[in-house]
Amino acid sequence: MPTPIHRTLLDLIEADLTAAPALAAGNLQRQRNRPMAAGVAQQVSLYLLRSRGRQAMLGGASPIEWTTTVGVECIARAASGVTADEAVATLLADVHARITGSAALAAAEVRVSTDHDLQWDDDALDERIGAATAIYTLRHFGALSSITT
């Protein structure tokens, strides 16, 4: 069964985030998943937000240039003496470094835009939990007549 190219992007990012040493102890979800389980210190949620395609050049069989937006939500539980914002800051920085420096994305000719969107949030039910979402725009190409690999 063919794999949609957009799912392939998530596969590449997941491989980067779970490569040794795995971020969030490998606790990565392929969807937004709150609340975080009680015994978990960190969690990363990876999901597609949207994608727009356009033909790179008019006419012929030129490929579709896709602009795909991916969300990566980082959630961290603060230890004693640490704020929720501080707890999530390190995880967010590590996620950002892995995605923007991804050799796997580069090898697949996926370009990570230099425009990034970071959003912070608090968990309404637990003040020790910090959350931050990094939104990345990825540019990649696909065949004119298909959205699969």
Tell me: the pLDDT tens digits for 32-50? 877 778 889 999 999 999 9
Q: Is residue 148 included in any domain, yes or no?
A: no
Mean pLDDT for the chain overall = 88
pLDDT band at 13 (very low <50, low <70, confident <90, very high): very high
Structural domain contains residue 22: yes
Q: What is the pTM of this model?
A: 0.87
Quick check: is 149 in a domain?
no
- For 35, the domain range is 5-142
Q: At residue 140, does pLDDT exceed 70?
A: yes
- pLDDT for residue 16: 96
In a domain, 147, yes or no: no
Q: How many domains does the chain have?
A: 1
Q: Is 42 exposed, middle or buried (0-12, 13-18, 19+ CB in 10 A)?
A: buried
Q: For residue 16, which of 28, 7, 5, 4 has the smallest C-alpha distance?
A: 28
**CATH code, 51:** 3.30.2000.30
